[in-house]
Amino acid sequence: MTYLTKPKLHHPTLQKNKVGYTRRDYEGKISTLCAGCGHDSISASIIQACWELDIQPHRVAKLSGIGCSSKTPDYFLGNSHGFNSVHGRMPSVLTGANLANRELIYLGVSGDGDSASIGIGQFAHIMRRGVNLTYILENNGVYGLTKGQFSATADAGSKSKRGVVNRDAPVDTVSLALQLGATYVARSFSGDKKQLVPLIKGAIAHQGAAFIDIVSPCVAFNNHEGSTKSYDYVREHNDSVNRLDFWPTRDAISIDYQAGAVIDVAQHDGSVLRLRKIHPEYDPLDRVKALNYIAEHQAKGELVTGLLYVHPDAEDLHAHLNTVDTPFNQLNARELCPGAAALAKINAALR
Amino acid sequence: MKPKRIESINDFVIKFANVNGSGSASANELFARSILRMGVPVSPRNIFPSNIQGLPTWYEVRVTEKGWLGRRGGVDLMVAMNPQTWNQDIAEIEPGGYLFYDSTRPLPQSKFRDDINVIGMPLTDICNATYDDSRQRQLFKNIIYVGALAALLDMDAGAIAELIGEQYKGKEKLLKPNLNAMQMGRDYALAHLKCPIGLRVQRADAVGKKIFMEGNSAAALGAVYGGATVCAWYPITPSSSVAEAFERYCKRLRVDPETGKNKFAIVQAEDELASIGMVTGAGWNGARAFTATSGPGISLMTEFIGLAYFAEIPVTVIDVQRGGPSTGMPTRTQQADILSTAYASHGDTKHVLLFPEDPKECFEFTAQALDLADRLQTPVFVMTDLDIGMNTRLCDPLEWDDAKQYDRGKVMSAEELQAGKDFGRYLDLDGDGIPYRTYPGTHPTRGAYFTRGTTKDRYARYSEAGPDYVDNMQRLLKKFETAKTLVPKPLLSAALHPARFGVIYFGSTSPAMAEALDALAAQGIYVNALRVRAFPFQDEIADFVAAHSKVFVIEQNRDAQLKTLLVNEAHINPASLISVLHYDGTPITARFIVKEIAAVTAALNVRPLKKDKAA
């Protein structure tokens, strides 16, 4: 099969952002996922976030692994380069790409099979290394493209559409990311655009490893009674710790300040995250407390959402490696080759 | 009866049997370098265990004024410093050869052989009398035996002193004691032992401008010169020193003097799956990237190698081959990854392989591989091995032409896209099978594409249509044909006389082959030799086979992998090829090649040309 083509006609009155693009300029091909798939809502939130951030679409690189989630980068940012790589290996490809050109914005899109099973090693190490990216995990607890097998994020006790009960303990990617050193960690729900869009914006602005676990129900294989990743289950058990607003660097900040309920977090690039705290005791700047909070609520069967942790002054891999500011892919022989004279010296030392 | 004595000047093999981790390595290398300083070529080889401390290790030095750098086989002088391996070490000495050992503790006569010359020196006693510290006793023992050998072999003590001086320049505290220990050993030997023995080193002028370098360092330097900015790797013997040398050279040569920032990034990945993934990502995004690995690493990388082949991404892999299969023989050499790299991955894949013969070609081919990977937009393998990679080898000095620019291949620029040039990621605009690519972020509305494996059409649009797939696969074949015109050509060494037989060889077999050709000619057996330097095979290779009645294919693996590839890809009749296979983990020797070829030619009733007639 080939694609359905999407009409490129834009209504002349469509609103443009500061870099002159309409929201539709951030769209991609028509999705081939099932109608009602949570993943398509996430794509819509990514489009909204990029448009609101005034990002030039072609300055984003979208990388993914294999699976339903990993197909989605074709369905947003059609003028960006995309790379549908190897199952579970998006993190390494993205790391290499990021090293080659530090000036682009990197979106890594993955699923729960891709990140928590086959790719759990690469997921762990990209968080450790602090690669500057936005890692979006579209988490439905199930293998969709191979038709309904459990994934490693499926909760123990959850029941598949065929009635099989999962007995294995689930991998909690949010806790894992926190332990491994991710510097921006959030969880959200595909159906909660109000929460999700600012979280994605904050993640893109974050200058380090940003991870968002997004529960995204699979309408075909995991949206029934007995599933803990269904629309109904998540809506009933969702416990949001905060509401996030995001301001890019250039916007003046003027918003009501309610002592004790709101905190501002200035990120390294100058952008500001404003957190309206729904749970007053929640402190997103304390990694250890965040881990405890998540665990305590998990034990009660509650799914904690929102911005769970941010380290506003995070350093990324390029800082660790002390690389030059010019992207590597723009360096030529004059800048990279030491030349014949240096080689003559090396030869002389080898005699 | 007194044993006979091997008499030889500048042509013998000395082997050091040591315990791993005892500090012998640097003393042994000092010995080898001293001979080089006297203008006599040497070819040293480490034979080491997969171990850090305690297991046996050997260092074999072939002293060869004629410059035969292959392993010779056999030992003329054994420096036996390891009681663990005593019996096997003694057994290895050629009749009439020499044994040098620590005679502090008396050994029963049954521990020796009648047909060798035994030289005992109480090394432990000497050390114990001179040094209080046990570490010093151990370390200086090594230098003391180097001093003794200098006397026994009639070496120039000045050359050794000069090298010690260079090594400890600015470290006076170390310089003096090392010089003293060397002198002490020499003085003792001159006073108490019969010096010199039948083996001697005489000053010569056979080294010239040659350099002494490990292949892995040379490959790393080739990556620096070739413009690699990203190195992602995972430690594996015998390739780890490639990445380590790359880091060392980069720190010297690739730090921006104004900002102090690095024009390189080295990532020690979590495994080979990640290292090749990073290289693939960097190549996709327009940086020159490479990894270094060995056979087991290649196995792990194959899924990505297939993706890079189909998605047409430049990737450079340095494969320092070791004994296989599986995780075996990590410290032994082989040429056994030929098929696993040539056809690496699932689906119909073929890859470009380069076969360097020595450190100089490790340097050149690694730099060239980075150009080829960009030009051909595909994985390129530099197929070196432990013998070249981890031994210090004498070779011609490295060369670089400052006028050379990197060949970044077909990359469409923002200007070209703006001007309306037709961009199809998998579209063959020039008829050579190589499409154009764009770097991510080039143009706001043109040139972006979605990278995938095979499911696509010429414009990189998703397509599962059979004709689109076939079209793409055929273009990839055309691209592979184009590769033939770009990779290093085979090199012919023609025999002095018309020859019915030919020989094909590659990589680290080179020095042993050169010596074998000389020895065969001395027996009146003349063969033409072709050194294959790359895959895909050029037509010259099939022509060479066609021009001979039989062609020997010399390989260091069990299954005749190059021969298989020749039959498969160059459509050569297998009946015209005779395999000569050496795969016990030690480097192939001229003796082995001569024996195999001479036996076959004799069986085929070839009457050797009379030497006088031939001359």
Nearest-CA distance A67 → chain B (Å)? 13
Say if the Cβ atoms of B399 and A338 lie within 8 Å.
no
Q: How many CB pairs under 8 A join A and B?
A: 239
B93 vs A: CB within 8 A? no
pLDDT of residue A160: 82
Output the pLDDT for position A148.
82
Looking at every residue in chain A, the average pLDDT score rounds to 89
* pLDDT above 60 for A207: yes
> What would the DSSP string read from start to end of B394-409?
EEPPP---TT------
pLDDT band, residue A271 (cuts 50/70/90)? confident
Decide if B439 touches A, using CB distance below 8 A. Answer: yes
Tell me which residue in B224, B281, B438 faces A92 most closely, judged by beta carbons: B281
Residue B541 has pLDDT above 90, yes or no: yes
The two three-digit tokens of residue B124, written as one number: 């432990």
Record: contact B281-A3, CB cut-off 8 A: no
Beta bridge partners of B505: B531
Model confidence band, residue B611 (pLDDT cutoffs 50, 70, 90): low
Do the Cβ atoms of A329 and B449 come within 8 Å?
A: no
Per-residue pLDDT reduced to its tens digit, A5-28: 566 666 778 899 999 999 999 999
Under an 8 A CB cutoff, do B441 and A103 touch? yes
Q: Which residues contact B392 (CB under 8 A, 6 or more apart)?
A: B29, B32, B44, B212, B213, B214
Q: Is 90 exceeded by the pLDDT of residue A234?
A: no
Most confident of A252-266, B317-331, B563-577: B563-577
Q: Would you tell me which CATH number, out of the four given (3.40.50.2300, 3.40.50.970, 3.90.105.10, 3.30.360.10), belongs to the domain A23-334?
A: 3.40.50.970
Q: What mean pLDDT, rounded, does chain B reach?
A: 95
E strand or H helix that includes residue A345: helix A339-349
- Which pLDDT score, from 0 to 100, does residue B448 have? 96
The DSSP bridge pattern shows strands A238-240 and A303-310 to be parallel
Rounded mean pLDDT of B214-221?
98
Contact A83 B451 (CB under 8 A): yes
Q: What is the pLDDT of residue B608?
A: 64
Confidence of residue B610 (pLDDT cuts 50, 70, 90): low
Nearest chain A CA: its distance from B527 CA (Å): 34
Shortest Cα–Cα distance, A322 to chain B (Å): 6
Q: How many residues can be counted in chain B?
A: 615
Residue A311 has pLDDT above 70, yes or no: yes
Residues B274 and A123: their CA atoms lie apart, in Å, by 11
Domain residue extents for chain A: 23-334
Question: Pairing state of beta strands B93-102 and B315-321?
Answer: unpaired
Q: How far apart are CA B508 and CA B335, in angstroms?
A: 8
Determine the Cα–Cα distance for residues B585 and B329; give it in Å rounded to an integer: 7
Contacts of A79 in chain B (CB under 8 A): 444-445, 448
Q: Is B166 on the interface with A (CB under 8 A)?
A: no
Q: Which of B264, B404, B440 sits opposite A104 (nearest CB)?
A: B440
Helix (H) or strand (E) holding B139: helix B134-152
Residue A256 in this model has a pLDDT that exceeds 80: no
d(Cα B565, Cα B339) in Å, to the nearest integer? 7
B406 touches chain A (CB under 8 A): yes
The CA distance from A107 to A50, in Å, is 11
Residue type, B431: G
The least confident of A129-143, A144-158, B242-256 is A144-158
What residues of chain B lie within 8 A of the CB of A337, using their CB? 224-225, 227, 400, 404, 406
Out of B277, B399, B464, name the one closest to residue A1 (CB): B464
User: Measured between alpha carbons, how far is B290 from B162 in angstroms, rounded to an integer?
Assistant: 38
Distance CA A161, CA A170 (A): 18
Q: Which of B276, B278, B393, B405 should be substituted to probe chain A, the one whose Cβ sees the most A Cβ atoms within 10 Å?
A: B278
Confidence of residue B605 (pLDDT cuts 50, 70, 90): low
Q: Distances in Å between the alpha carbon of A262 and those of A199, A243, A270, A314, B191?
A: 16, 9, 18, 22, 90
Phi and psi torsions of B195, nearest 5°? -120, 140
- Our CA-based measurement puts residue A98 at a distance from the nearest CA of chain B, in whole angstroms, of 7
Record the tokens describing residue B517, joined without a space: 């050709």
- Checking if the pLDDT of A1 tops 50, the result is no
Query: Any chain A CB within 8 A of the CB of B271?
Result: yes
Span B196-218, average pLDDT: 97
Report the pLDDT value the prediction gives residue A6, as an integer from 0 to 100.
64
The rounded percent of chain B whose pLDDT value lies above 70 is: 98
For residue B108, with 0-12 CB atoms within 10 Å meaning exposed, 13-18 middle and 19 or more buried, which class applies?
Answer: exposed
Query: Do B450 and A83 lie within an 8 Å CB cutoff?
Result: yes
Label residue A238 by pLDDT band (50, 70, 90): confident
Give the Cα separation of B460 and B450 in Å (integer): 7
d(CA B582, CA A108): 48
Is B251 part of the contact surface with chain A (CB cutoff 8 Å)?
A: no
Q: How far is residue B399's CA from residue B402's CA, in Å, rounded to a whole number?
A: 10
What pLDDT score does B68 carry? 97
How many other CB atoms sit within 10 Å of the CB of residue B595?
Answer: 14
Domains of chain B: 8-200 (3.40.920.10), 213-395 (3.40.50.970), 410-487 (no CATH), 491-614 (3.40.50.920)
Percentage of chain B beyond pLDDT 90 is 91
According to the model, what pLDDT value does residue B54 have?
80
Query: Would the CB atoms of A57 and B444 count as touching at under 8 Å?
Result: yes
Q: Can you say whether the dihedral through the CA atoms of A79, A81, A86, A88 is positive or negative? A: negative
pLDDT of residue A252: 45
Sorted by sequence, the CB contacts under 8 Å of residue B101 that are 6+ apart come out as B79, B80, B81, B118, B119, B120, B121
ipTM value, please give it: 0.94
List of chain A residues whose C-beta atoms are within 8 Å of the C-beta of residue B275: 92
Mean pLDDT to the nearest integer, B273-299? 98
Average pLDDT of span A90-116 = 97
Check whether B615 has a pLDDT greater than 80.
Answer: no
As a whole number of angstroms, the distance between CA B229 and CA B17 comes to: 41
Q: What is the pLDDT of residue A9?
A: 67
Which pLDDT score is estimated for A227? 82
Beta strand segments in chain A, E: 60-64, 81-84, 105-111, 133-139, 142-143, 149-150, 184-189, 209-215, 238-240, 242-247, 262-266, 272-277, 303-310
CB B308 within 8 A of CB B378: yes
